[in-house]
Amino acid sequence: MPLLFALMVFFISFIVQAAPLEFQNATVRQPLPGKNLSAGYFSVLNSSDNAITLVAASSPWFERVELHQHSMHNGMMRMEKVDSFEIQAGEQLHLQPGGLHLMLFAPKNELTLGAIVPIQFSTADGQQWQISAVVTKIPTQ
């Protein structure tokens, strides 16, 4: 009976600890020479039964981090700050070039290739999520 109880506690704790958000393939681009801003990309899977809204991002490596999107206005593509990213229940949201992304301003550290950048997210319900993003090169066009 003690073994059965221990197994039940183990499986219940595993279920409780299962995170509803899973961040994947997080990257931060190495800034262009002479520039002091970068972009961040990742995918996030919401495995919960409810929509989850990311409302803020920060990093000790940057002065400021903003949630951004690209959008078309009068035939011109522009980038703009947004208040949040909503991830529907059971769906995956992709932050990628030309779409939703992070803008990271004024790096406090040198962004060398392969460096690991910590980024913290806040959700509308007050939860905090910490991820690690790898510094990558901007692809050549």
Ordered per-residue pLDDT tens for the chain, 141 residues: 555 444 444 444 344 445 799 999 999 999 988 899 999 999 999 999 999 999 999 999 999 999 999 877 788 888 899 999 999 999 999 999 999 999 999 999 889 999 999 999 999 999 999 999 999 998 875
Is the separation of the CB atoms in 54 and 121 below 8 Å? yes
* Of the candidates 67, 59, 68, the residue with the CA atom closest to the CA atom of residue 117: 59
CA distance 27 to 4: 43
Q: Half-sphere exposure (CA, 13 Å, Cβ side) for 16?
A: 6
